[in-house]
Structures are given as structure tokens and as C-alpha cells.
Structure 1
Amino acid sequence: MTVTRLLSLPLLALAPLLLSACGDEATPEGGVPKGEALPAIAAPAGQSWTETVTITPEGGYLVGNPDAPLKLVEYASHTCSHCAEFARTGKEPLKSKYVASGVVSFEQREVFLNPYDVVIAGLAQCGTKEQFQPLSDQVWGNLESVFAGLQGNPQAVEAAGQLPINQRFAAIAEVTGLLEFFAARGISADQGRTCLTDQAKIEALVKTEEANRQKDKIEGTPTFFLNGQRIDGTTWDRLEPQLQRAGAR
């Protein structure tokens, strides 16, 4: 999907699709090699791996040891119910048990299934890099109410979708309640508007997503990679055994 096409998609046509927006489960491209248990790697003095955040060259937000021997990447959409399920059931054990040890890092990369994803990502990335994953988890943890806001005022959404790019996404955030949602979580309405009216920033965000999606052949969300290799499953009960097989304990 080109930048022009994504930024010009009609919002109303997408609204009924949000609840089924996620793609099929990822399929494996080969088994994860079995490895011996890897020893824990201590964080620098006074630091914690679960509070260490790095923005990667791919534009992802990585939590944990940047040099961890096991690098888990999730491609996720903020309007994906399967991504919400992983956030609800998998994030806490992933971070407290595996990321905290320094053996596993966890990187989240964007997938845009619709223009709402652009708005939400623009707001989630509007704060500090440490805020990004917690804000994403807040969206997934309140997905039902987020959907209600997205679908609650179709006429206003349609009108917002007709505005120029440098006004469109801030207007969508306003009429869908997303500005208010993020303001309650540390991103002020003025801060959010500033981020969403920065056309160059929005277009760069979309171009990065498009390049990553094409390079890694992403067809559904969530899709996971471990050390650059696509792995099977979208749920924590299927991912954890593969991390353990690769050496995480």
C-alpha cells in the first residue's frame, strides 16, 4: 500500500472491518533451532532491562538488552484484536521473565491496516520512547471503548477524512475521542495535535511501515520473528515454548 493510497483511504468504509482487521496467523518458515539455556545478562548498574528502550533502525521500539542473544519482533496493528490478546496475556510474562534476564529483547513494529492505525501510532509515538509500548498496551487493553469511539460519529469522521493531510489525522483523533483517550494517559491534546499535524512526520511513519511490511512480507497481525526468522503462532502459549527452545529459560 503506497503512502498516497493509505493516507487517502475513506474512513467510513473501514469502520465495520475493525473487529476483524487482523490477518491470518503467521505461518512458519522453518523451526526455531534448539539451544542450550542461556545465562542471564546483568543490566548496567542502576538500570533495568525492562525499562531500557531503544528505537531501532527499522523504527521499532525495543525493550530490553539491545544486544540480547534472542531478539523477538512483533509486527502489530493497534486495531487488531489478536494483538490485543497477546498484549493482555503475553506482555507481562515476556517482560518479567525473559526480557528482565537480558537474554530476550522485545521489539514492536507498526502495521497499518487502516488510517486509524496511523492516528493511534502517531499519538503513541508522540511522547518519550519509554511511553510507547505502555501506551500501545493501553489501547489494546481498552479496545472495545476505542472501537466505540471510532464508530460513534460517522458523519464527523467522514468530514475529517476529507481534510488536507496536515489537518486530517488530528481531526480524526478529535472526533473519535482518541485525543481525549491519550490525554488521560500523558499525551496532552495540544501535544497530540502537534504530532498529528506534522505531515512530514506522518508520511515518514507510513513509509517506514510500508518498507518493513514489504521487506518481511507481512500479511497478518500479529506476526512474530525471532532472530530474523518468522515463527509460528500469535498467542503466548505458542510463543513461549519457542523462546525456551531457543535458549530462554
Structure 2
Amino acid sequence: MLAAAAALLLATGATPAPAVQKKAAPANWLTVIVKTPAGGFRQGNPDAPVKLVEYGSRTCPTCGRFAAEGMKPLRDQYIATGKVSYEYRDYLVHGGPDLALAILNQCVPTARFFDTLDAIYASQPMFADRVEALVHDTPAEAEKMQNLPAPQAALRFAESLGFLKFMAARGLPEAQARKCLGNAALIGGIATVNANAATQYGVNGTPTFFVNGRKMRANSWDRLQPELWAAGA
């Protein structure tokens, strides 16, 4: 039968269709980082059976605690293996300082987004002390800065709280950082993510997690991990 089929192909001039080669998965899904159409940044397998989304704030202490306690096991056990994809979306809860950090984080190359996010969360206590000192020592000035238009507020807080030097030490030149802080399109994108979070998804605080589109009550790793198990991770 096989010989007859081969002879028929030769006789008619037909050629066999090339075999479809399946693209090999990367050795480590942690290296796969993209900006999503929803305005977030996703790490991991885009076809993962469990899709985790976090709405977070870089100045939120509970978010900082999740970053410290949850991100390593989440990455090691779930994202790296391709079982879970993780998307971070901005939901700003503390005005100008939050906006400045969000802009600067998005100003780095996409491949470095999560490394930079991790570094910001690791430095959260230092930034919180600086914010507290600013509000305590010059309350009128701090309030004035909060009430500035978004680009000006972000720049003033970045200057006052040492964000520019922090980012420069991580490879983002100050001139580029200043340009990003005034980027209307970047600010508008962050504002859209914030608005959609509240109006479309019912987000009203941070961190807020969604697993396969379902809003979670969990806001810590010990409560979120069982939800990943239940979803099939």
C-alpha cells in the first residue's frame, strides 16, 4: 500500500505536505515576558491552563508582602513550569508616588519589567520612610505636589523621593526617565488600566487577584496558593 501511494504521488507530480513542526517550549517560561493588550505585563506561558492576574500598587504594603513571600514560590513552582501565567496590572492607590514608580517601571525594556518590579518592592520600606518624612516635614508642599497635573506630580515625587537615582542605578538614564515621566501616552495607558480595573472588574484595593477571570478574596500567598491548586495548577 505504501509503495502504491508513493508511485501515485510520483505519477501525478504531487508532493507530500511538509510535516508541521510544533514550536518547542522554552526551557524556562520565566524568560517569556510581554506587554498585554489589557495594558499589563505577563510572565510565563501564554497558553498556561491557569491565568493569574494581579492588580497591584508599588506603594501598597500588602502587595509588598506578597512580593516578598509569594513571588519566589509562584515563579519556581508554577510559572517556570508553564502551569501558570502571571500578569501584573497597575492600580494606583497613593497618587503621585505610585504613578511615578509605575511610569518608571514601564520605561525599562519589557524583558526587564519584572526584575525592576521586584527591586521596587524590595526597596518599598525605604521609599515609605521617604514619603513619611516628606509629608511630616513639608506637609503643605507634599499636598501641593499631589494636586499637580499627573506628569508634573510624577516628576516632582520622583525627584523628591530619589526615584531617579534608584532607576539610574538599575540602568535607566536620568534623561530617559525624565522623558518617560512626561510621556502622555504612557500616563494615559496607566490611567486606562486603572479606570478599567474599577469599572469592568470591580477592583477597589490592592492586591486584587483574578484566577482564570474569577476575582479572588485572597490577598496573601498562603490564601492564594490553594486557589491555584483548585484551578488545576
Alignment of 1:60-139 (within 5 A): 60-115=40-95, 116-139=97-120
Give the equivalent residue in structure 1 for 2:121.
140
**Which protein shows a greater Rg?**
2
Give the equivalent residue in structure 1 for 2:217.
232
Q: Distance in 2 between matches of 1:133 and 1:43?
A: 25
TM-score under structure 2 normalisation?
A: 0.81
Q: CA RMSD in A?
A: 2.1
Give the equivalent residue in structure 2 for 1:190.
175
Deviation at 1:47, TM superposition (A): 5.0
Contact 1:80/1:221 (8 A) holds in 2: yes
Corresponding position: 1:246 with 2:226: no
Secondary structure class of the residue paired with 2:194: helix
Secondary structure class of the residue paired with 1:145: helix
Give the equivalent residue in structure 2 for 1:208.
193
Deviation at 1:69, TM superposition (A): 1.1
Give the equivalent residue in structure 1 for 2:12.
none
Q: Which amino acid aligns with 2:166?
A: F
Q: Distance in 2 between matches of 1:44 and 1:189?
A: 39
Contact 2:93/2:205 (8 A) holds in 1: no
Name the structure where helix makes up a greater proportion of residues: 2
Q: Which amino acid aligns with 1:51?
A: T
Q: Distance in 1 between matches of 2:149 and 2:231?
A: 48
Q: Distance in 1 between matches of 2:226 and 2:192?
A: 34
Gaps of 5+ in 1: 1-41
Secondary structure class of the residue paired with 1:125: helix
Highest relative contact order (Cα 8 Å, sep 6+), 1 or 2? 1
Corresponding position: 1:179 with 2:164: yes
TM-score under structure 1 normalisation?
A: 0.76
Q: Distance in 2 between matches of 1:164 and 1:232?
A: 34
Give the equivalent residue in structure 1 for 2:5.
none
Change (3 A) 1:200 1:85: same
Q: Which amino acid aligns with 1:181?
A: F
Q: State, as a whole percentage, how many aligned pairs show the same letter.
A: 37
